[in-house]
Structure 1
């Protein structure tokens, strides 16, 4: 592959873009830094001027993913205002939309095995994204009597786990796991059942 003439200012992003393509094709452990360099059209030596190893490159992809994810979640939350229920449901849908639109980033964030505490920047970005869902859960839980109210962190963790499960099992073409229902419907109905259990929405007639 001919070199594309990336200069210092955009080589790092070219390498991240190459890693994202390889992550989608081969998974987070299915490629080497040399392959990322070849995909980006540069020499392997150029990669090591910016990243010490493959995990550093994946961590950069995860950081960018969490930054985009946090912005998407915040936008969804604000779009649903002033209704706490609408804002909460919007953040759930945003999770699924992100996983579909940015599969490479999603895998780097949640399936690479890298700790979000690998770098301070990554921890901050991940915390911001999680904080939006927790904020939405906290707003909605104010409608629950105090003695029955779950902690906002637990509330949001339940929805995060449900969203992640729908993505992993049914939205990413997992082999042998076809669903007769669209992932969006599965997530919406699951959140509905959860919220009914908390008394936040009325039961179906």
Structure 2
């Protein structure tokens, strides 16, 4: 592969794409900037025109991931249609779908140690995605008496934690290899137990 130095047509995005491949293969802390440069076909010095270091590059991968994540969640939520409950469950399924389709982005977002507040753009993208979850939780829990209603941010954080746990334990590698249930079944039943506890759906 020839070195294109500083004259790459879209060096910044080429580095992001290279980092995505490396993250998927080696994890978010298992590669160097020199390896990212090699993936992009440029000199080892070229990436520093755009990124201060690996964490800065991973932050950009995470920002783009959160932009995609927000799009996926908004599409799944569909303004709460056809019902708040159905829309909320669709958001949960979208969580799993995103992790499967965009593993490099997912790891950069949630497993790299890069904080959402590392850059203003990253914070903005993360906040947008989180607002979809919080809005879905707020709308669904609106009929709970206010004195028993969990804050929307807490509600969505509980579901996020459940989703992350299922992804890490059961959706990596061979889905379901460590359980007799699919990740989707585990998430659906977990959300059902949680919502029954809040009185949002009737007991079976």
**TM > 0.5 between the two?**
yes
RMSD: 1.9
How many residues are treated as equivalent by the alignment? 203
Aligned partners of 2:36 and 2:111: how far apart in 1? Answer: 19
Contact map agreement 1:21 1:104 (CA 8 A) in 2: yes
Shift, 1:5, TM fit: 8.8
**Please, what TM-score do these two structures have when normalized by structure 2?**
0.94
Stretches of structure 2 that go unaligned for 5 or more consecutive residues are none
Aligned to 2:77: 77
Describe how 1:1-205 pairs up with structure 2 within 5 A. Answer: 1-3=1-3, 7-78=7-78, 80-173=80-173, 178-204=178-204
Contact map agreement 1:159 1:191 (CA 8 A) in 2: yes
Structure 1 pair 5–80 and aligned structure 2 pair: CA distance change class (3 A): farther
Structure 1 pair 144–36 and aligned structure 2 pair: CA distance change class (3 A): same
Structure 1 pair 30–135 and aligned structure 2 pair: CA distance change class (3 A): same
**Please, what TM-score do these two structures have when normalized by structure 1?**
0.93
Shift, 1:173, TM fit: 2.5
Contact map agreement 2:4 2:43 (CA 8 A) in 1: no
1:140-165 residue CA offsets vs partner (Å, 9 max, x unmatched): 00121222211111111110100011
Shift, 1:4, TM fit: 6.9
Q: Secondary structure at the match of 1:148?
A: coil
Aligned partners of 2:131 and 2:79: how far apart in 1? Answer: 16
Aligned partners of 1:93 and 1:20: how far apart in 2? Answer: 23
Moved over 4 A (4+): 3-9
Shift, 1:80, TM fit: 4.6
Contact map agreement 1:80 1:90 (CA 8 A) in 2: no
Aligned partners of 1:202 and 1:134: how far apart in 2? Answer: 23
1:101-155 residue CA offsets vs partner (Å, 9 max, x unmatched): 0000000000000111001111111011011000000000012122221111111
